[in-house]
């Protein structure tokens, strides 16, 4: 079972999510993280690495997702310091900048989330354009409804092999993961499916594995110690 630590970046620092309500996100500090007190990208990555030598990390640039321009020099400097880590980066619709950033960071994969697309053809074209960079499809859900391209399930044959099922209302919560939609994806042997949102503890991760998930995206449970270093080591065997 792969543990993929998450960094949500907004307004110049890494924040902890609160139920998908981005206006409520607050910078990481000693009050909400046992790993670190600095909310810089590098400090958070280093904090995660004190738990385990993770080979994958997920980053959501919430500023880009909300329409701002991609800061290529910033991300190039921050991520190139960790050449051994494959970063999964969500920059919203700023995919025009992807090639330039990829030149400067050797291990980098784009996240393509359904929530920002209103057209199935636009989403499919974006996946095609990013194909050389091995895109990951994020099926963004809220209260059991797919956000953006609701008919995404109809073009499964055009999906990349790696898919995230993201329950946005549970991101940063301790409500437990959603299992209902997993079976619709994990029954396809071609897909490698990751779960995001609501995972509370070791037992949740085991339950997700038993439901067919190959990995899980985590932030809050790592920062507050609900999933410990020993848990991470057991899960990443």
Q: pTM (2 decimals)? A: 0.94
Q: Among 25-29, 75-79, 87-91, 181-185, whose mean pLDDT is lowest?
A: 25-29
Position 184 scores a pLDDT of 83
Phi, psi dihedral angles at 2 (to 5 degrees): -90, 125
Position 93 scores a pLDDT of 86
Under 8 Å between Cβ of 111 and 86? no
The pLDDT-based confidence of 19 (bands split at 50, 70, 90) is: low
Tokens of 230: 């020993």
Instruction: Kindly state the helix (H) or strand (E) to which residue 45 belongs, with its residue range.
Output: helix 41-51
Summarize pLDDT for 90-124 with one digit per residue, the tens: 998 877 788 888 888 878 999 999 999 989 999 99
Position 106 scores a pLDDT of 78
List all residues 6 or more positions away from 31 whose beta carbon is below 8 Å from its beta carbon.
none
Instruction: Give the span between the Cα atoms of 36 and 48, in whole angstroms.
Output: 9
Under 8 Å between Cβ of 104 and 77? no
Q: What percent of the chain has pLDDT over 90?
A: 65
| Mean per-residue pLDDT, 191-216 | 95
Summarize pLDDT for 55-75 with one digit per residue, the tens: 999 999 999 998 899 999 999
- Characterise 67 by phi-psi region: left (phi > 0), alpha (psi -120 to 50), beta (else): left
| Mean per-residue pLDDT, 217-222 | 94
237 CB-contact burial (10 Å; exposed 0-12 / middle 13-18 / buried 19+): exposed
- Characterise 69 by phi-psi region: left (phi > 0), alpha (psi -120 to 50), beta (else): beta
Q: pLDDT higher for 166 or 154?
A: 166
Under 8 Å between Cβ of 141 and 106? no
Q: pLDDT higher for 191 or 94?
A: 191
Most confident range (mean pLDDT) of 6-20, 68-82, 145-159 is: 68-82
- What domains are defined for the chain? 2-235 (3.20.20.70)
Under 8 Å between Cβ of 51 and 234? no
Does the pLDDT at position 203 exceed 80? yes
Look at residues 15, 114, 123 and name the one whose alpha carbon lies nearest to residue 60. 15
């Amino acid at each position: 079972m792969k543990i993929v630590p998450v960094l949500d970046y907004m307004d110049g620092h890494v924040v902890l999510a609160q139920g998908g309500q981005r206006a409520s996100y607050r910078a990481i500090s000693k009050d909400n993280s046992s790993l670190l007190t600095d909310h810089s990208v590098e400090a958070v990555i280093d904090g995660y690495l004190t738990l385990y030598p993770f080979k994958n990390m997920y980053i959501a640039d919430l500023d880009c997702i909300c329409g701002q321009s991609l800061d290529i020099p910033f991300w190039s400097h921050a991520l190139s310091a960790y050449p051994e880590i494959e970063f999964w980066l969500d920059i919203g619709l700023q995919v025009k900048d992807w090639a330039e950033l990829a030149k400067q960071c050797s291990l980098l994969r784009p996240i393509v989330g359904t929530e920002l697309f209103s057209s199935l053809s636009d989403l499919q074209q974006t996946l095609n354009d990013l194909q050389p960079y091995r895109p990951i499809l994020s099926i963004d859900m809220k209260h059991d409804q797919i956000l953006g391209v609701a008919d995404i399930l109809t073009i499964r044959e055009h999906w990349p092999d790696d898919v995230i099922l993201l329950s946005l209302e549970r991101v940063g919560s301790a409500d437990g993961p959603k299992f209902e939609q997993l079976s619709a994806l994990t029954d396809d042997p071609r897909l490698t499916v990751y779960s995001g949102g609501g995972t509370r503890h070791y037992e949740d991760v085991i339950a997700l594995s038993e439901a067919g998930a190959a990995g899980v995206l985590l932030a809050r449970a790592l920062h507050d110690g609900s999933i410990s270093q020993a848990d991470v080591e057991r899960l990443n065997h």
